Amino acid sequence: MEWLGRAKINFTHSTTPLSLTRKDGAPTDLLSICEEATPPCKLNPLLFNGHVQTMWTAVKNDGPPLYYKRKIFENEDPAFAGSFAVDFISRPSPEKDTSLPIRTTYFIDDEFSSISSDDTRPMLVVLHGLSGGSYEIYLKHVIAPLVGAEGEKQWEACVINSRGCAMHKITSSILFNARATWDIRQMILWLRKTFPNRPLFGIGFSLGANILTNYIGEEGAACQLKAAVVCSNPWNLDVSSAALQRTWLGREVYLKTMGGNLKKLIELHHDQVAKNPKLDFAKIRAVKYLYEFDRHVQCPTWGYPTEGAYYRDASSTDSLFAIRIPLFVINAKDDPIAVDEGLPYEEIKQTPYAVMCTTSLGGHLSWFEMNGHRWHARPASNFLNKMAFEVDVTAPVDIFQNGVTKHSQSGAEYDSMRRKWQM
């Protein structure tokens, strides 16, 4: 236990972090920007470890009062047919729609048809955690100060809801998984076309952080995002699953809760999902834990022989080697879900494009301060503001030849995106 909630902060990084240039012409680097963005971590001393921090998230409050307008998109790739819901930050409105999360309403057609803009405001693309949505408090704490800024420092933002989440009705038997990059890929291309002058940035939380990291790695030097933040990424899914199964709390609290949430989600969309002949709902309804859900849903859906094969293939650690944009990683060492033994310490050291900030306290997507605020929101929003307004991010820099990482000692090439399951 740290003294009075004062968490220790450490930065893991390459010996030669990515060189950057400030807009005033002064040289800097990614490590310096991340260090400047990170304030001291002083958490609520009553929430004295990762379990208590994480369990406190069950004590819900409304969080910052953000308003959204929702648009339903159809995926254009027949391999990933189905719809997904995107919630755009909007002006406060007295309108209500009880079929949607709080303060969320649908765009009317005329309203959405005029959404395109030539403005240069930075835009944040957000991915939530497992079975969550745009209403989650941990993401609203990051978005609120950015979209609430005044004048030229004001941001735009949108949240891509995973299929079936945030009260979105699933329209096909194709669900999301830890490698579900197809909807964000289409959305980024749409944003680039609709807002041609807006610099795009990304942030992901928990499973959304894993998906975002995989997406950025898949895109490589062609990635349209200027920079990104990932919070509480589980990174090595098989390591995290094994660690959770070792303890009673891991099995009976975390794995059971996450498995139960996904069971409710798939049951809510039973009529549509049951059209997938590979799914056995008798087995799915007997599921207790998250790994059992993955065994009986994700494995047959995507052709993995075991949940371990799925976890290893979908993990985002190796994607770090293919990333070619600045990435700020934030994890807590006492996180009971994204466990410390699964964090990519050695991989981070091998890429100049990423810096990892670890705190000794914080739990999973928690980091509760005395006032109820979440500490992670401050380094995340500070970093995004620095990258948007202080650093020249006009073009990505591919340090590695042909986008393939060379092993620093042997000189051998390693293609980190040669995955077992191909899109």
Catalytic annotation, residues: 206, 335, 364
Asked whether the beta carbons of 54 and 135 are under 8 A apart, the reply is: no
Measured between alpha carbons, how far is residue 118 from residues 67, 84, 87, 330 in Å? 23, 25, 20, 33
Q: What is the dihedral of CA 206, 352, 391, 227, to 10 degrees?
A: -30
Rg (CA), the chain: 20
Asked whether the beta carbons of 312 and 237 are under 8 A apart, the reply is: yes
Spell out the SS3 assignment of 111-177: HHHCCCCCCCCCEEEEECCCCCCCCCHHHHHHHHHHHCCCHHHCCEEEEEECCCCCCCCCCCCCCCC
Q: State the helix-helix crossing angle for 30-37 and 377-389, rounded to 10 degrees.
A: 130
Closest CA to 223 of 207, 200, 206: 200
Rounded to an integer, what distance in angstroms lies between the CA atom of residue 235 and that of residue 232? 9
Task: Identify the helix (H) or strand (E) that includes residue 212.
Answer: helix 207-219
In angstroms, how far is the first alpha carbon of the chain from the final one?
45
For residue 352, what are its two tokens?
A: 């100049």
Instruction: Sort 138 into a burial class: Cβ within 10 Å, 0-12 / 13-18 / 19+.
Output: buried
- Which residue carries 């990683």 as its tokens? 329
